Structure 1
Amino acid sequence: MKLKLLLSSFLLISCLAAFSQEKQSNQAAEKGLIKVSVMYPYAEGKTFNMEYYETKHMPMVAGYLGANLVKYTIEKGLASGLPNQPLPFMAIGTFYIKSLSDYQAAVAPNREAIRADFANYTNVAPIILVSEVVK
């Protein structure tokens, strides 16, 4: 019985240590990347088709970015950070890229196709923030 408890404890500690190292490694790998956040503000009467955005729009844009793209994420807004306040954003799409100039070069010839696709999933003009991951 003591041996089983000891083995279980050892396995749990080993798993926690491995998870911690992986998390630190991922954070270090993202440091210095450029993050392009495309945020869709919530407003009464505005719409957003998450299924289309996830299955069509974001993969389309990701395809334009090629090897410069490290990863992308999609977030669905749920609530404001303050009680009884309106949702600030319906959705946020984020691209993690290696080079801003390569991103701009890839997006420029495809800008009209990207903008034309907006009508397929939203009637909101997005806010775009370009930043650098520092930690």
Structure 2
Amino acid sequence: MIKVSILYPYRENGRFDTEYYCTHHMPLAAKLFGSALKGWSVDIGVNAGPPGSPPPYVAVGHFLFETMDAFYAAFQPHADTLLDDIPNYTDGGNGRILISEIKVSV
């Protein structure tokens, strides 16, 4: 199983519409990815550890796929649609991508 994470760095005075991201963008991606997608979730940054510190990331979206090939096959036909939606929820541009292999899940 692999996890595709899109990390959106925190920026002071940056715009990130978590409501839109959670209720429109991520469900849109899930619909477009179809049965290849095994699950998804969103993390909203709270802080960096010490009380009152800004989080390193304002949000992180996660998608689960069986393989990287399954991810690429699901994403590539819809890349333009999803990338074109980014300005609707952030003025920070594309997030940083991390593709990881899940070794342990509890």
Q: TM-score, normalised by structure 1?
A: 0.71
Residues 117-126 or 74-83, more deviating: 74-83
Question: Quick check: 2:46–2:54 contact (8 Å CA) kept in 1?
Answer: no
Overall identity of the aligned pairs, in %: 37
1 or 2 for the larger relative contact order (CA 8 Å, sep ≥6)? 2
**Cα drift, residue 84 of structure 1:** 5.5
Following superposition, the deviation at residue 128 of structure 1 comes to 0.7
Among 89, 94, 98, the residue aligned to 2:57 = 89
**AA paired with 2:96?**
I
- More helix by percentage: 1
Aligned counterpart, 2:71: 103
Contact 1:68 1:99 in 2 (8 A): no
Structure 2 CA distance for aligned equivalents of residues 84 and 45 of structure 1:
16
Please name the residue that 2:87 is paired with: 119
Please point out which of 38, 43, 53 is paired with 1:70. 38
Aligned length: 103
Match of 1:6 in 2: none
Higher-Rg structure is: 1
- Distance (whole Å) between structure 2 residues aligned to residue 46 and residue 74 of structure 1: 19
Residue 46 of structure 1 corresponds to: 14
The 2-side partners of 1:85 and 1:76 are apart by 14
Distance in 1, matches of 2:41 and 2:57, equals: 15
Q: Which runs of 5+ in 1 are unaligned?
A: 1-32
Query: SS of the residue aligned with 2:25?
Result: helix
| Larger strand proportion of the pair | 2
Unaligned runs of 5+ residues in structure 2 are none
Deviation sequence 1:75-126 (CA, Å, 0-9, x none): 1110112456432000011001112112111211211111110011011230
Whether the aligned pair in 1 keeps the contact of 2:37 and 2:63 (CA below 8 Å) is yes
> TM-score, normalized by length of structure 2?
0.89
- State how far apart, in whole Å, the 2-side matches of 1:49 and 1:74 are: 13
Contact 2:36 2:74 in 1 (8 A): no
Partner residue in 2 for 1:13? none
